[in-house]
């Protein structure tokens, strides 16, 4: 049996991370996986998270019972408020609900499963995008098409995105990165978002926002929700996948939420019941520990306040590293233009390095990045950035 099974291709990012971990050289640098690192190059547990965990330990009513299929309601309600805005009229009109999911990936997956059952159409994802978008929608049975997003000439947004929005069949699903586009670090300007919304409205397209970096891009939770809230104000029905992996540093705890925004509140209990049916057969109910942490942070004013400060500190450190990298390359007169490093936002920069240059960095210099040239700025710190810049300079010149 199973002789017909061929080896599945490894995920490039996870594969790179495994090679990095196995490398014994102390000068190694990882800018592959998108996880925040401190100035010491270590994973960061937020103080607000530690405090929430202590509160849980001390709480005699805390236990390890199952959550309901839809998850912890104090968490999902707070997550909906976080993305739509606490005083959103949509919430007051009972036109939005949250559904806990296994981090951002799970939110995308259960949302796509629901769409597949009740609103199937073609799913469009950006080119390039986070690779899992193609896999998630593809595995759900969608025809997945790509819209050009990156313009290598300007290292910015490709104007043909608007043409694809216009030429796509009416009623298509468009997966949009709410902020801090992965992998390019290029977000539409507010004017460009307005145009996207205008065309999508005319074409009756369905927005499926992926918000994996709220608060992480600018350091401001509301600012990073601008695009989603603009679409809500324009009267769209939509799904929003939220991840608390990056902004709360809860990567492995798998804390996520799917927010559904609709016109008619009466459809929500029906959609909710179908999401329950979907997850019951997939994993029964979501994990509790991380959702309880997130709920405490989101619903306890002191912890929330502390979170916003820590979030801003993470975003600011990333911005500082962008400036430092740009300054080093400028100082070394590295051929090419590098202002995109400081123009792009969020965790990643699309450096423009070629596949061969990336392979040389990995193979000869112990610098681990995926070969599309995307780097996670969070992997840089004041101790390793000079060596990193020198190696970039070297591969560009050779
Ligand atoms: N969407 C995008 C664009 C991402 O970059 C990520 C994280 N790499 C996710 C979704 C989901 O991540 P997670 O499942 O860990 O929340």
Tell me how far CA of residue 270 lies from CA of 82, 164, 241, 279, in angstroms.
Answer: 24, 33, 19, 15
Rounded distance between C-alpha atoms, residue 133 and residue 174, angstroms = 11
Find all residues with CB under 8 Å of 380, minimum gap 6, and list them. Answer: 29, 31, 321, 324, 325, 388
262 and 377: one domain? no
- What tokens does 163 get? 């043409």
Q: What is the mean pLDDT of residues 357-375?
A: 94
Of 272, 299, 326, which residue is a domain's last? 299
Q: Among 311, 255, 271, 279, which residue's Cα sits nearest to residue 74?
A: 255
For the chain, give the mean pLDDT.
96
**Helix, strand, coil: what percent of the chain each, to 5?**
45, 15, 40
Q: Answer whether residue 82 shows pLDDT above 90.
A: yes
- Residue 61 in any domain: the answer is no
Per residue in 179-213, pLDDT (tens digit) is 999 999 999 999 999 999 999 999 999 999 999 99
Distance 256 CA to ligand 1 centre (A): 10
100 and 243: one domain? yes
| ipTM, 2 dp | 0.99
193 and 284: one domain? yes
Q: What is the mean pLDDT of residues 124-152?
A: 96
Rounded distance between C-alpha atoms, residue 2 and residue 211, angstroms = 39
Q: Which residues line ligand 1 (CB under 6 A)?
A: 34, 103-105, 130, 177, 182, 210, 212, 243, 245, 251, 256
- Residue 305 in any domain: the answer is no
251 and 331: one domain? no
Per residue in 268-298, pLDDT (tens digit) is 999 999 999 999 999 999 999 999 999 999 9
Looking at residue 77, its pLDDT comes to 98
Return the best residue to mutate from 104, 214, 294 for the ligand 1 pocket (most ligand atoms within 8 A of CB).
104
Per residue in 232-264, pLDDT (tens digit) is 999 999 999 999 999 999 999 999 999 999 999
Crossing angle of helices 355-365 and 385-397, in 10° steps, is: 130
Protein residue with its CA nearest to atom 12 in ligand 1: 104
CATH number, domain of 171, equals 3.40.640.10
142 and 243: one domain? yes
192 and 339: one domain? no
Looking at residue 298, its pLDDT comes to 98
Can you tell me which residue has the tokens 């002789």? 3
**Ordered alpha helix ranges (H), the chain:** 12-22, 47-58, 73-84, 89-92, 103-118, 132-139, 160-167, 190-203, 226-233, 267-282, 289-299, 301-331, 340-343, 355-365, 385-397
Q: Among 98, 56, 123, which residue's Cα sits nearest to residue 303?
A: 56
Q: What is the mean pLDDT of residues 75-99?
A: 97
160 and 93: one domain? yes
Domain extent for 93: 66-299
């Amino acid at each position: 049996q199973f002789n017909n099974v061929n080896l599945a291709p490894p995920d490039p990012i996870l594969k790179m991370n495994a090679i990095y971990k196995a490398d014994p050289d102390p000068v190694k640098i990882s800018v592959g996986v998108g996880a925040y690192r401190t100035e010491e190059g270590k994973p960061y547990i937020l103080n607000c998270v530690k405090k929430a965990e202590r509160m849980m330990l001390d709480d005699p009513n805390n236990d390890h019972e199952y959550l309901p299929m839809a998850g912890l309601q104090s968490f999902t309600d707070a997550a909906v408020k976080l993305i739509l805005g606490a005083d959103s009229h949509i919430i007051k009109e009972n036109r939005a609900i949250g559904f806990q999911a296994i981090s951002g990936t799970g939110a995308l997956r259960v949302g796509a499963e629901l769409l597949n059952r009740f609103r199937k159409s073609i799913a469009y994802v950006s080119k390039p995008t986070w690779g899992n978008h193609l896999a998630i929608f593809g595995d759900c049975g969608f025809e997945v098409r790509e819209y050009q997003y990156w313009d290598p000439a300007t290292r910015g947004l490709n104007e043909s995105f608007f043409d694809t929005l216009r030429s796509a069949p009416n009623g298509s699903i468009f997966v949009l990165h709410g902020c801090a586009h992965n992998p390019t670090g290029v977000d539409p300007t507010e004017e460009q978002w307005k145009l996207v919304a205008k065309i999508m409205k005319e074409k009756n397209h369905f927005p499926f926002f992926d918000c994996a970096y709220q608060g992480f891009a600018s350091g401001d939770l509301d600012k990073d929700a601008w695009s989603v809230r603009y679409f809500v104000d324009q009267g769209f029905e939509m799904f929003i996948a939220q991840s608390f992996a990056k902004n709360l540093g809860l990567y492995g705890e798998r804390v996520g939420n799917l927010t559904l925004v609709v016109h008619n509140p009466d459809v929500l209990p029906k959609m909710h019941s179908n999401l329950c049916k979907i997850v019951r057969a997939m994993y029964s109910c979501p994990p509790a520990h991380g959702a309880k942490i997130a709920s405490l942070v989101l619903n306890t004013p002191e912890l929330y306040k502390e979170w916003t400060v820590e979030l801003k500190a993470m975003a600011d450190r990333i911005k500082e590293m962008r400036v430092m990298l740009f300054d080093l390359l400028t100082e070394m007169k590295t051929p090419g233009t590098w202002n995109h490093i400081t123009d792009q936002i969020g965790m990643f920069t699309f450096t423009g390095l070629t596949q061969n240059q990336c392979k040389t960095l990995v193979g000869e210099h112990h610098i681990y990045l995926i070969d599309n040239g995307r780097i996670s700025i969070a992997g840089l710190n004041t101790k390793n950035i000079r060596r990193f810049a020198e190696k970039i300079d070297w591969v560009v010149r050779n």
